[in-house]
Amino acid sequence: MIILVGMMLSGCVDEYIRDTEAAAEDLEQSDEFSSVNFAYEDHDPMTRPRSLYDYSAALYEDADLDEAGRLLAESAETSIFVPDILVDGSTWVQAFQRWEGVVPDFTAEQWTEVLETARTTHAQEVEVWKHEQYRAEELDDPEPKIAFTMRSEKATEGFNAFKAFEDAEIPAGIGDEHVYVQLQAGTDSAPWSYKMREVGERWVPGPDYQIFVEGPRDSNIRQAWTLYEAAERDLGEVVEFNFVYLEPMHREPKFSLEILHAGEYEACDDNIAYAAMVRELLDTEVEIQLSYAEHWNDIPSQIYDDTQSGRAAYDGNDPSQECYPSY
């Protein structure tokens, strides 16, 4: 019985591998894509099935985007995957190595618009996806999504580019409420070095950026730069800044703001006042954690913690009225 099950699983996996390989060959033989890479790990099917770990390609600079869109739509029909596409050597369309979800059901025209968007944006990545069926039903959200990611060595240039995402064109069939934006950057005093992913490379950006912002474009995520500048002004040099939108289960927006700063450690009033300003500006539920650190990789000394765990640790005290330096 075990042998039979192993053979059945192996057959199913082999089928999707063969289908994806056939789709990759069609792209390779076209005049629109180059350097098509298709790679998988060949395990013993009795212990672990083969797993596809890279499916990527580069779009020729003179490619016909209408034809390229048609080929990507056919790839999605032939296989369950669409490759990641490097556009003009500067922007990745992430359809294979996604952080979540599955490939959206785009028409050839929509895939063409995705490629056009990648050519006109300054983003390093344009990711497209939709929730898997169980998640879509849980959230009542089956619609396709798009996310723009900006990576920058320094905060100032990063936030400038991030703000420009407000005017980025989006493909037809994607609603404004399903457009997400992300920023990964260093600070002006501690630049972040990163490298562009190459076709065929198994790659994930290092986690050593000091600034991380992520959320729906049409939300308070637009206030990220204002919050960052206010922290630099009111708290001291920002060492690490994380401002993210927490995916709601019941349609109530919630944000999380975590800041490490090198200001006065005992200046509780400054931290309380900053947190109050954040709440007034955002006018929505937000968890705030403010800590002291001289460098991003230091062990932080907590000053203010108005999060669910923080409120529990403070035994019912209100962090909006007090802060709790851990001497």
Nearest of 31, 35, 101, 117 to residue 71 by alpha carbon = 31
pLDDT digits (tens, 9 = 90+) for 191-235: 998 888 888 876 665 668 999 999 999 999 999 999 999 999 999
pLDDT digits (tens, 9 = 90+) for 260-302: 999 988 888 899 999 999 999 998 889 999 999 887 777 888 8
Nearest of 191, 113, 122 to residue 162 by alpha carbon = 122
Q: How many C-beta neighbours within 10 Å does residue 49 have?
A: 20
Sign of CA dihedral 29, 197, 204, 224: negative
Average pLDDT over the chain, rounded to whole? 84
Mean pLDDT is lowest, of 101-105, 123-127, 311-315, for: 311-315
For residue 314, pLDDT over 90 is answered with no
What is the spatial distance between Cα 114 and Cα 282, in angstroms, rounded to a whole number?
A: 32
SS3 content of the chain, % helix, strand, coil (to 5): 35, 25, 40
pLDDT, residue 320, reads 61
For residue 32, pLDDT over 90 is answered with yes
What is the spatial distance between Cα 115 and Cα 94, in angstroms, rounded to a whole number?
A: 11
For residue 327, pLDDT over 50 is answered with no
Q: Which two tokens stand for residue 224?
A: 């990220």
Confidence band for 2, pLDDT divided at 50, 70 and 90: very low
pLDDT, residue 6, reads 37
CA 244 vs. chain centroid, Å, equals 11
What is the spatial distance between Cα 8 and Cα 228, in angstroms, rounded to a whole number?
A: 55
What is the spatial distance between Cα 215 and Cα 183, in angstroms, rounded to a whole number?
A: 10
